[in-house]
Amino acid sequence: MTACVAERTDTDVAVERRMSVIARANTQPLLFFLLRLTRGQYELAEDLLQETMLRAWRRLDELPDDPVAVRRWLFTVARNLVVDTARARLARPAEVYGLDLDWVPSPEDPYERLVDRYALDGALRNLSTEHRTVLVDLYYGEATVAEVAARMGTPEGTVRSRCFYGLRAARGILDGESPDA
């Protein structure tokens, strides 16, 4: 049984050695630079550092021999990656993780309906008689504006006005404001 083992050439060893030297000399300063640009987001800075080093690995043959020029190239690539990441985040909606919707009551929840009815009953009791009568007739009695106006002996415009101001006052009461109706 023969094992197929890839022979490491001198070129492979030289490439690994050069990348190792570049990484050792630049990883720490690049990480600090990226942490500043990402406002302390350590995981993001690490990801961007890894992407920067990956790009250096892919273009190792094109990189200059001068260590200062290599460092300049790495910092430029890292900065461009930060800009690209920021632009990409602006182009898509914010990501929401771990949103727990179990606390949101179901519309069919009888207790929630009971609490709503109790709150609405309290709000209606704090309205003036005219506003309460119009709202109850229109929404609970399912009467039309014309029917309510005829029953109350007032113009339809008055019924509409009382409905508007009654709803506004009820919203205010439900939001915790004092009744002004």
> Residue 158 and residue 151: Cα distance in Å, rounded?
13
State the pLDDT at residue 4: 54
State the pLDDT at residue 106: 65
The residue with tokens 């023969």 is 2
> Residue 139 and residue 102: Cα distance in Å, rounded?
31
What's the pTM value of the predicted model, to 2 decimals?
0.46
State the pLDDT at residue 99: 58
Backbone CA torsion sign across 33, 39, 40, 42: negative
State the pLDDT at residue 181: 44
Domains of the chain by start residue, with CATH: 10-91 (1.10.1740), 110-174 (1.10.10.10)
Any residues with CB less than 8 A from the CB of 124 and at least 6 apart, and which?
Answer: 132, 135, 136, 170
> Residue 122 and residue 170: Cα distance in Å, rounded?
9
String of DSSP letters for 116-136: HHHHHHHHHHTS-HHHHHHHI
Write out residues in the chain with pLDDT < 70, as ranges. Answer: 1-6, 8, 94-107, 177-181
Tell me the helix, strand and coil percentages in the chain, rounded to 5: 70, 0, 30
